[in-house]
Amino acid sequence: MSEDPRDLTDKTAPSPDNGAPESSGPGGRPPSVGAQAPLAKIPPEQAFPDQNPPDSSAPIPSSKDPSPSAPRSLPGSPSPKFPSSRLASPGNIILLFLFAAGLAFAVWGHVALSQGDFHPASLPQDPQRVITLAPSVTEIAFAVGLGPKVVGVTKFCRYPPEVEKLPRVAGFSDMNIEAIVRLRPDLVILPADKAENRRELTRLGLSVLSVDTRTLEGLIKALEDLGKATGRESEAQKVVDAINEAVSEAGRRAEGKPKPKVMFSVMHSYAGLGYISELTIAGRDGFFDHLIEICGGENAYPGKLPFPSVSREAVFRMNPDVIIDLMRSYSEAEDSMESWNTMTSVSAVQKGRVYMFTEESDTVPGPRAWKTIKKVSMVLHPDPENPPPQILGDVP
């Protein structure tokens, strides 16, 4: 199998997953969810291409499971652990989000973005050669009109389609410094929590802009900052307006209505048992958690972790009114829906309120976030005359 000529990352460097080789599917996509295959340890950075990986060592809440087939744990003992990944199969993708994903470098090693990180006077007003070092950052650059100037991206950047032909100069946490220097960028844009990468690039004399997309407010500020720094305020404002309009519409839809308990599943495993055995869900991550809030719901997860791994029995204990699961494709969503339907004592399952989101944009906290907001709003407070389908793709 020939190597991707666009991939300029160091093939000899160990991956962040304890030095294990990074696994990927066709076209450089991470392997996927859903198939009944032997479990494979998927590097967390591929499950959350735009976020730091979830804390897989976090304790799993336990409770008595009304389902006789569900795994149990003894009082005072940790719940059975499975690899926090979905099963790998060619042609699919393991999610986000991203978040995350994307989305989006948001769980481990948070570094606060101070006001001093943005110095428009020190950045080129009309950059001609731009490198973007995260999927959300790449989408932001294209959204404000910098697309034709982008000369390098990460191996996880897949949108817009134009990025497919661009050189890949970084992975999740690794950068190919030589490849970056060879591309002669006059601006490098990267996530705020990649502090060490920023210091290394700055030592080389490169102009660097940090943006923080780990919250909706941070995403809006990133759009405004990049628009201001590059003289593209009007383009950035159009995207900000679309996000703000989606937020306002979600507020109007939820006004005066009860808040359903919502569980946002970003990754789960079957472990060869024929049903979902463990999930990674959005906790207090700052992005999905906020989307639930602004759309008139409350997070079913009561803890403080950003992306906790929870057991099947913990789902019964939380008993969400609405479940949102991030999937790669329609067919994959159908398979996952069958697995959810085995959890018949969960309120969301009983009421037919398990929803599959199949767009990759739902895992990336980027300019297309308005679409995710719209979908979350639709499923939390559906129109009784026109209820949404349980499998939701793109929305106009």
- pLDDT for 110 beyond 60: no
Q: 210 pairs with which residues across the strands?
A: 190
pLDDT band at 3 (very low <50, low <70, confident <90, very high): low
Q: Tell me, what's the pLDDT at 179?
A: 95
**CB count, 10 Å around CB of 242?**
17
Average pLDDT, the chain: 76
Q: Tell me, what's the pLDDT at 343?
A: 93
Q: Tell me, what's the pLDDT at 335?
A: 83
**CB count, 10 Å around CB of 117?**
17
Q: Fold identical between 44-105+258-392 and 115-252?
A: yes
Q: Tell me, what's the pLDDT at 267?
A: 86
> In CATH, what is the architecture of 115-252?
3-Layer(aba) Sandwich (3.40)
Average pLDDT over residues 201-213: 92
Please report, rounded to a whole number, the percentage of residues in the chain having pLDDT higher than 90.
Answer: 55
Q: Tell me, what's the pLDDT at 268?
A: 77
Give the C-alpha separation, 147 to 230, whole Å: 12
Q: Is 188 helix (H, G, I), strand (E, B) or coil?
A: strand
Q: Tell me, what's the pLDDT at 170?
A: 92
pLDDT tens, residue by residue, 12-42: 433 333 333 333 333 333 333 222 233 233 3
Give the C-alpha separation, 299 to 347, whole Å: 15
Q: Tell me, what's the pLDDT at 193?
A: 85
Please state the pTM of the whole predicted model: 0.72
The ranges assigned to domains in the chain are 44-105+258-392, 115-252
DSSP string, 321-346: SEEEEE-S-HHHHHHHHHHHTT-TTS
Q: Would you call 54 exposed, middle or buried from its count of C-beta atoms within 10 A (0-12, 13-18, 19+)?
A: buried
Class of domain 44-105+258-392: alpha beta
Reported as half-sphere exposure (CB side, CA atoms, 13 A), residue 374 has a value of 16
